[in-house]
Chains A and B, each alone.
Chain A
Amino acid sequence: TQLLEQSPQFLSIQEGENLTVYCNSSSVFSSLQWYRQEPGEGPVLLVTVVTGGEVKKLKRLTFQFGDARKDSSLHITAAQPGDTGLYLCAGAERNNNDMRFGAGTRLTVKP
């Protein structure tokens, strides 16, 4: 059982569409991070959220941390083929130094 549940597991959309992927847990996190990973490469950090209810924007990507710090979402506006990849969320529990990763959402954006 994953500490962090990501949904959907797979998502295939057309260029220009909007999408939202989710990261949910029953645990409270001191911080949560989103990464993007391309095949054969290491994950690349996109954003860190720390405060409950926090919203961060990175160009066409909007990240939100839940008020209770148990969940997060990533919204992409007008998706482009370059957004294709595996999106991973990772959280550090308040009383634990381990960083736990979700299984990821594999996004494919077709031109």
Chain B
Amino acid sequence: DSGVTQTPKHLITATGQRVTLRCSPRSGDLSVYWYQQSLDQGLQFLIQYYNGEERAKGNILERFSAQQFPDLHSELNLSSLELGDSALYFCASSVSGTSANEQYFGPGTRLTVT
């Protein structure tokens, strides 16, 4: 158990819908990272927040957005969903915001768009 929690574990929704994925980092960690993992693309970095502020942005679509709240939990919002958005979405956390930090991953949310 990494100490990172994600909800829900599974999510099935239709194209065009909007969903919110939730992540609670390990106690004491200030950074939260979001990743998308699909069979053909591997693990893709989406976005990082550090202590409530956006720190780094990866391959995140404009239809996706995220935020980190004062209690440090984070939410990833996915809108206008397409079939290709079906994937595993992982959240990871680390102590600080620097690139050399070790990241601890949650169990993931499996999103299926039908």
Binary interface profile of B, 69-102, with partner A (CB < 8 Å = 1, else 0)? 0000000000000000000001010000111101
**Are B100 and A31 in contact (CB-based, < 8 A)?**
yes
Interface hits, A73-110 → B, CB 8 Å: 88, 90, 92-93, 96-104
**Are B45 and A97 in contact (CB-based, < 8 A)?**
no
Task: State in angstroms the CA–CA spacing of A25 and B45 once bound together.
Answer: 17
**Are A96 and B99 in contact (CB-based, < 8 A)?**
yes
**Are A97 and B55 in contact (CB-based, < 8 A)?**
yes
The stretch of A11-19, A37-45, A52-60 in contact with B is A37-45
**Are A42 and B108 in contact (CB-based, < 8 A)?**
yes
Task: Kindly report which residue of chain B lies nearest to residue A103, judged by CB atoms.
Answer: B42
Tell me how many residue pairs across A and B have CB atoms closer than 8 Å. Answer: 63
Q: How many positions in chain B have a CB within 8 Å of any CB in the partner chain? A: 26
Task: Kindly report which residue of chain A lies nearest to residue B106, judged by CB atoms.
Answer: A42
**Are B42 and A99 in contact (CB-based, < 8 A)?**
no
B51: Cβ under 8 A from any A Cβ: no
Report the contact-size class of chain A (Cβ under 8 Å from the partner): 20 to 34
**Are A45 and B102 in contact (CB-based, < 8 A)?**
yes
**Are B100 and A97 in contact (CB-based, < 8 A)?**
no
B14: Cβ under 8 A from any A Cβ: no
A68: Cβ under 8 A from any B Cβ: no
**Are A41 and B43 in contact (CB-based, < 8 A)?**
no
CB neighbours of B4 from chain A (8 A): 42
**Are B97 and A97 in contact (CB-based, < 8 A)?**
yes
Report the minimum CB–CB distance from B47 to chain A (whole Å).
Answer: 10
Task: Kindly report which residue of chain B lies nearest to residue A4, judged by CB atoms.
Answer: B42
Q: Which residues of A contact B (CB under 8 A)?
A: 2, 30-31, 33, 35, 40-45, 48, 50, 88, 90, 92-93, 96-104
Q: Which residues of B contact A (CB under 8 A)?
A: 2, 4, 33, 35, 42-45, 48, 55-56, 58, 90, 92, 97-100, 102-108, 110
Q: Which 4 A-B pairs have the closest CB atoms?
A: A92-B99, A42-B105, A31-B100, A101-B43
A-B contact pairs, 10 of them (CB 8 A): A30-B99, A30-B100, A42-B2, A45-B102, A48-B100, A98-B45, A98-B48, A100-B45, A101-B42, A104-B43
